Structure 1
Amino acid sequence: MSPRERAQALLIDLDGVLRRWDPAPMIAVEVEYGLKPAALLETSMSWDIYRPAVVGEITDAEWMRLVAERLPIEPERAAEAVARWQSYRGEPDPDALAFIREVRAGGRKVGLATNATDRLRPDLEALGLAGEVDVVISSWEQKVHKPAPEFYQRACELIGFAPKHVLFVDDDDRAVRGARAASLPAYRWSGPEHVAYLRKALDLS
C-alpha cells in the first residue's frame, strides 16, 4: 500500500478485539444452574433471536427473555441464570486500547464498528470506553449488521472517509471478508503481535 493509498481512519470491532470476556463467570452460572457447557452462549446466538437483537427489532432485555425461555430449567431459575450471566460485561483489552490511543494520538480517527444491542452505549460508559473512540457505529442503531455491505458503507460515511482509506480490524473472518468486499482494507485481529503492520497501514511512524 503506497503512502497515498494508506488508510486515514480505523474501524475496530468491540467483542473479541477491544472488549475481552473471561469465560469463568458464564461457566460458574451454568454449573450452578445445571446447564450444559456453553448453553447460555449457544442459546443466545441462535440466529432467529440473535439477528433481531442486533438490527434493532427487539431490545437487549427482550432478547435475554427469549434466551431464558429456551433454557431447559424452571422459568424463575432460567431468568435468574440469565441475569447472573449478564451482570458480567467483560473488560477492555489493554493491547487493543493502547493501539487505539496510539492511532488517535497520530491524528487518525477511530470508529467502533460492531454488531450490538441497545445495551452497547451503557456498556461503553461502564467500561470507560465511551471517550476512547471518535464515532460509534452500532448495528442496532443502523438497523443492519456486519457483514452486510450497507453496514460498511454507513460506517465509512460516519467516519468521513472513502472505503479505500478506512482500515477495518475485526476478529471475525466473515466480517473481515465483508469489509474487503466493500472495498475496505481489512485485517483479522488475533492479538497485538501484528500492531506493527497495522501502524504501517495507517502510515503511523
Structure 2
Amino acid sequence: MRDRAQALLIDLDGVLRRWDPAPMIAVEVQYGLKPASLLETAMSWDIYRPAMAGEITHAEWMKLVADRLPLDGEEATAAVAEWQAYRGEVDPDALAFVREVRAAGRKVGLATNATDLLRGDLDLLGLTGEVDLILNSWELKVHKPAPEYFQQACVAIETVPKRVLFVDDDDRVIRGARVAGLSGYRWAGPEHVPYLRKVLDLPM
C-alpha cells in the first residue's frame, strides 16, 4: 500500500481556473478568424514552450501569436488584446477542496505551467492567499512534465515525492508526475474528491 500523501500540488488551468470559451469565440467571429485559431496559434509548440519555460514574457508570446494571425498588424494586435482581457474564473469545487486540505493542516502548492502574468492573475482571481506556495514554470525555468519540475516542486513543498499528491487535468503531465515518484491523479471534476480525501488521509 502506498504511503499516505501529506501534501498537495494542484494545477491551475483546467482545475482551479476554468475558461469560458465564449469570449474567445466572440473575438474570432468579430475579426473573421477560424474557430479556435487563437488558441491553436498560441499553443504552437515553438512559441508555447519558451513562454512556459521563462524564456520569453507573456507579452512577447502574444506578439508572436498576433504576428501569425491572418490579419493586418493593428487588427491582429487588437484581436489578441481583446482575447487576453478575459482571465478565466475560479472553479468553486476545486477551491473548496484546496481549502479543506489546508484546513486539515496539509500544505498546498499551486503547480502550473504559466507565464509572468501568473501572479497578477492569481491576485485578480483572489487565489493568491488560497495556497501555501506557487510553483510557476516561468519562474522555475522548467515546465511540466519534466522531471526537474517535480523535483523542484517537492523540494519547495518540503515533502518527499512519495508523500505528495499531484492533481492535474492533463494525462501527459500526470504520467510525468508518476514517473517522478508522486501520486498523480487526473482532475475531471468534484465527483472524485472523496477518493482524494482518502489519499491525503483527511477526516471524512
- Scaled by the length of structure 2, the TM-score of the pair is 0.99
1:100 equivalent among 81, 98, 101: 98
* In 2: Cα distance, 1:144 partner to 1:56 partner: 8
1:36 equivalent among 21, 34, 37: 34
Residue aligned with 2:101, SS: helix
Shift of 1:132: 0.3
Partner of 1:187: 185
Shift of 1:74: 1.0
Quote the RMSD (CA, aligned, Å).
Answer: 0.6
1:48 equivalent among 43, 46, 49: 46
- 1:90-169 equivalences under 5 Å are 90-169=88-167
- Pair 1:88-2:86 in alignment: yes
Say how many residue pairs are matched.
203
Q: Which runs of 4+ in 1 moved over 2 A?
A: none
Structure 2 unmatched ranges of 5 or more: none
2:132 is matched by which residue type in structure 1? D
* In 1: Cα distance, 2:26 partner to 2:183 partner: 40
* In 2: Cα distance, 1:196 partner to 1:133 partner: 20
Partner of 1:64: 62
**CA deviation string 1:30-79 (max 9, x = no partner):** 00000000000000000000001011110000000000000001110000
Structure 1 unmatched ranges of 5 or more: none
Residue aligned with 1:145, SS: coil
* In 2: Cα distance, 1:185 partner to 1:42 partner: 30
1:196 equivalent among 194, 197, 200: 194
**CA deviation string 1:93-147 (max 9, x = no partner):** 0000000000000110000000000000000000000000000001000000000
2:17 equivalent among 16, 19, 24: 19
Shift of 1:7: 0.3
Residue aligned with 1:113, SS: strand
Residue aligned with 1:37, SS: coil
Q: What's the % identity of the aligned pairs?
A: 75
* In 1: Cα distance, 2:131 partner to 2:172 partner: 23
* In 1: Cα distance, 2:112 partner to 2:173 partner: 10
* In 1: Cα distance, 2:93 partner to 2:118 partner: 21
- Pair 1:79-2:74 in alignment: no
**CA deviation string 1:120-178 (max 9, x = no partner):** 00000000000000000010000000000000000000000000000000000010000
1:12 is matched by which residue type in structure 2? I
